[in-house]
Each structure stands twice: as structure tokens, then as C-alpha cells.
Structure 1
């Protein structure tokens, strides 16, 4: 039993529990929130996926292993955009799984408005929203 905290659960159950704690957003609402400045879109995909599939214009790139350090408003390694615990962050991974777990981690840091993109980058692209080549 991990951490001695009861019966272990599978990843599907964990995702269901985590996602019950916040409202996820679809591609078009995420794009609108980013466009109006209501939310910070954060791409947590690793470099090989960004290189392969492209980037969301205006999204901040923070690989998953650096996320908490970059978005903690009290952290010494925070991004300039990490201005406070009320910051609305929309996390984007490749398909919308890792971003759910990452959103829950940000909630633990007090970023209570953190959420993620349903379907991730692949849903963004399938919705016909803008994608640019890396470096472009």
C-alpha cells in the first residue's frame, strides 16, 4: 500500500477522484480564456512532443517536472506570470491525462483555480485552433 494510506487505487480511479475536484475546460473555452487574459495557458508536454506536433501560440512552456517550482507564487524559481494564488492556470498535456494530475498538484500549492484542457493538445489541434511550428 503506497504511503500506508489504505487500499491502493488504479490510475483511472485516481483520475476520476482528482477531476471531481475542479471543472475542466474544452479547447474553445480555453482559447477564449487565454485570448482575453483571464487564464494562463501552460503547455507541460515534453520537448519531443512539442517538436513533433507544434505549439499553441501564446502558451507558456513549462515541462511537467518543473511545474510546481515555476508556478508557485511564493517560490524563488517562479515565472513572472506566477503572480498569486488566484491565477487561473489551464494546463495542457498531450491528451489530457498528465495535466489532470498536475492540476491537482497545483491545487495543493494553493492555486485553487488551476484546471486542465480536456483532451489536451490533441483536442486543441482537432478543434482547428492555432498551432505553430516550434520556433515559428
Structure 2
């Protein structure tokens, strides 16, 4: 196993990852799309998701930070979405470190959402920076 594969495995061991259909069933979850704008423009977005640039993710989701977005608490389920479910696992692990103990990610990322035939809104929605 390569170092990045080990890092990914350790991150995923801390997460209760969810499938696309499970995300669709979640109520009161904050779904955060960290994909680049060109992916969101080409493929669309999960309805109700909030696009947040990966480079500011921790600042916008620090539950006690002055630069945080509204609409979530430390108890909120936060589901991070990337293209295929790799960088989202690392991001969700980082959010847990910040105190969002229910942070997780979408298995297979946005591509799994598409493959499941779930609804998509046209994008891109302006990302939170």
C-alpha cells in the first residue's frame, strides 16, 4: 500500500460513510460539495448541497470559528462530496478533527450519485470562498 493509500484507509476507518441513496434519505444533513467549479458546471450538483471550495473548507465549517457558514452545529451530519469519494474522505476526517464528529463522505462521490439515477440540479452554484 502506498503512503496515500494508507492515509486514505486510516481516514475511512474513522468515518461512517454513506451511499448515494442514504444521502438522499438524510434529513437535516449538510451536504458539502468540494468539487471544482468546472465539474459542477459540466455534471451538475446534488440538490440542496452547498459548494465550498476545498481550500476554505475548514474555515467555513469550524463550528466555533468566526468565518463559519450558518446552518449547522457540532451535532449536524455533514456529508462531503467530491468526484469519486477519495478527497472527500480526507476532508471529512479533517472536519471530525475540528469537532464535527458526525462528518462523513459519500461513497463513490458525485459519480455514484449520478450512477444511482438520483436528481441533479444544474450548476454551478457559486461556491463559498
Q: Could you say what the CA RMSD is over the residues aligned between the two structures, in angstroms? A: 1.4
Which position in structure 2 is the counterpart of 1:24?
17
* Distance in 1 of aligned mates of 2:52 and 2:64: 17
* Distance in 2 of aligned mates of 1:133 and 1:22: 29
C-alpha deviation, 1:10, in angstroms: 1.1
* Distance in 2 of aligned mates of 1:75 and 1:108: 14
Which position in structure 2 is the counterpart of 1:116?
105
* Distance in 2 of aligned mates of 1:104 and 1:126: 25
C-alpha deviation, 1:91, in angstroms: 0.5
Deviating above 2 A after TM superposition, structure 1's stretches of 4 or more consecutive aligned residues are none
Structure with bigger RCO (C-alpha 8 Å, 6+ apart)? 2
Which position in structure 1 is the counterpart of 2:76?
87
TM-score of the superposition, structure 1-length normalised?
Answer: 0.86
Q: How many residues align?
A: 124
Which position in structure 1 is the counterpart of 2:115?
126
* Distance in 2 of aligned mates of 1:56 and 1:92: 9
Structure 2 regions of 5+ residues with no counterpart? none
- Greater C-alpha radius of gyration: 1
Structure 1 regions of 5+ residues with no counterpart? 1-8
Which position in structure 1 is the counterpart of 2:40?
50
TM-score of the superposition, structure 2-length normalised?
Answer: 0.91
Which position in structure 2 is the counterpart of 1:5?
none
C-alpha deviation, 1:135, in angstroms: 5.7
Which position in structure 1 is the counterpart of 2:91?
102
